[in-house]
Structure 1
Amino acid sequence: MSTRPPMPLPSDGYGIRCARPAESGAIAALLARAFADDPVMAWMIPGAAGRELRIARYFKLAQRQQRPRAGAVRVAATGEGRLLAAALWSGPGRWDTSPMRELAALPHYARVFGVGGLQRAAQVQNALHEAHPDTPHWYLPTVGTDPGLQGTGVGSALLRQQLTDCDRLGQPAYLESSKAANIPFYEKLGFRVTGELPLPEGGPAIWPMWREPAPAAGPAPHQEPAAGR
Structure 2
Amino acid sequence: MGVAIRRAGADDREDVIRLLDAALVHDPVSSWVFPEVEHRVRTHRALMGAFLDIALDEGYVDITEDGAAVALWWSVPAGPHGGGGEAAEAEVDAGAEDGPALLRRAVDPDNERVEVIGRLTEAIHPTDRAHEYLHLIAVHPDRQGEGLGTALVTAVLDRCDRDGLHAYLEASNARSRDLYTRLGFTFMGTTLDLPDGPPMWPMWRAPRA
TM-score higher than 0.5 here?
yes
Give the % identical residues.
30
5+ residue gaps in structure 1?
1-11, 216-229
Residue 87 (structure 1) aligned to one of 45, 53, 71: 71
Q: Matched residue of 2:155: which SS?
A: helix
Quick one: distance in 2 between partners of 1:40 and 1:65? Answer: 19
- Contact kept? 2:83, 2:98, Cα under 8 Å: no
Q: What is the 5 A alignment of 1:36-115?
A: 36-69=25-58, 72-78=60-66, 83-93=67-77, 96=82, 103=98, 109-110=104-105, 112-115=107-110
- Contact kept? 1:86, 1:145, Cα under 8 Å: yes
Q: Return the TM-score normalized by structure 2.
A: 0.83
Quick one: distance in 1 between partners of 2:124 and 2:83? Answer: 16
Aligned: 1:161 with 2:145? no
Provide, for residues 76-125 of structure 1, a one-character-per-residue CA deviation record: whole Å limited to 9, x for no partner. 122xxxx111111111329737979x75885663353341x2x1122211
5+ residue gaps in structure 2?
92-96
Quick one: distance in 2 between partners of 1:106 and 1:199? Answer: 18
For the structure 1 residues 104 and 206, does the alpha-carbon distance in structure 2 shift closer, same or farther, using more than 3 Å as the test? closer
* Structure-2 residue corresponding to 1:196: 191
- Contact kept? 2:103, 2:115, Cα under 8 Å: no
Q: Matched residue of 1:88: which SS?
A: strand
Q: Return the TM-score normalized by structure 1.
A: 0.77
1:207 deviates by 0.8
User: Letter of the aligned partner of 1:110 in structure 2?
Assistant: R
- Contact kept? 1:92, 1:136, Cα under 8 Å: yes
User: Could you say which structure has the higher helix fraction?
Assistant: 2
Provide, for residues 27-80 of structure 1, a one-character-per-residue CA deviation record: whole Å limited to 9, x for no partner. 11111111122111111112111423422211111111122336x1110122xx
* Structure number with bigger Rg: 1
RMSD in angstroms over aligned alpha carbons? 2.6
